Amino acid sequence: MNWAVTTYDSAFGYVSAHGAPLVDLLDPQPGEKIIDLGCGTGTFTAEIAERGAEVLGIDAAPEMIAQATALYPGLSFAVGDAHTFTTAMPYDAVASNAALHWMTRDPDSVIAQVHAALRPGGRFVGELGGAGNCAELIVAMQTAWRVFGLGEPDLPWYFPSPAEYATRLEDGGFTVRLLEHADRPTRMVEGPDGAADWVRVYARSALADVPPELVDPLLERVNELAAPALRRESGWVADYVRLRFAAVRKPDGTAPMPEGPPLNGGAP
Residues lying near ligand BEZ in the complex (CB under 6 A) are found at: 98, 101, 129, 133-134, 157, 202, 240
What is the Cα–Cα distance from 114 to 224, expressed in whole angstroms?
Answer: 42
Closer CB to ligand BEZ, residue 25 or residue 53?
25
- First-to-last C-alpha distance (Å) of the chain: 51
Which residue, judged by CB position, is nearest to ligand BEZ in the bound state? 129
What is the Cα–Cα distance from 82 to 167, expressed in whole angstroms?
Answer: 19
What is the Cα–Cα distance from 77 to 56, expressed in whole angstroms?
Answer: 5
Closer CB to ligand BEZ, residue 57 or residue 130?
130
- State in angstroms the smallest separation of the CB of 168 from ligand BEZ: 18
What is the Cα–Cα distance from 29 to 12, expressed in whole angstroms?
Answer: 13
Closer CB to ligand BEZ, residue 190 or residue 224?
190
| Burial group, residue 262, by CB count within 10 angstroms (0-12, 13-18, 19+) | exposed
Closer CB to ligand BEZ, residue 170 or residue 183?
183
- State in angstroms the smallest separation of the CB of 182 from ligand BEZ: 12
Dihedral-angle region of residue 52 (phi above 0 means left; psi in -120 to 50 means alpha; beta otherwise)? left
- State in angstroms the smallest separation of the CB of 146 from ligand BEZ: 21
Closer CB to ligand BEZ, residue 28 or residue 130?
130
What is the Cα–Cα distance from 268 to 264, expressed in whole angstroms?
Answer: 8
Closer CB to ligand BEZ, residue 14 or residue 240?
240
- State in angstroms the smallest separation of the CB of 36 from ligand BEZ: 16
- State in angstroms the smallest separation of the CB of 218 from ligand BEZ: 18
- State in angstroms the smallest separation of the CB of 154 from ligand BEZ: 13
Characterize 180-193 residue by residue with b for buried, 16 or more Cβ atoms within 10 angstroms of its Cβ, and e for exposed: bbbbbeeebeeeeb
CB 116 within 8 A of CB 82: no
Sheet strands side by side (includes 241-249): 76-79, 54-59, 33-37, 91-97, 118-129, 241-249, 174-183
- State in angstroms the smallest separation of the CB of 61 from ligand BEZ: 14
Closer CB to ligand BEZ, residue 41 or residue 133?
133
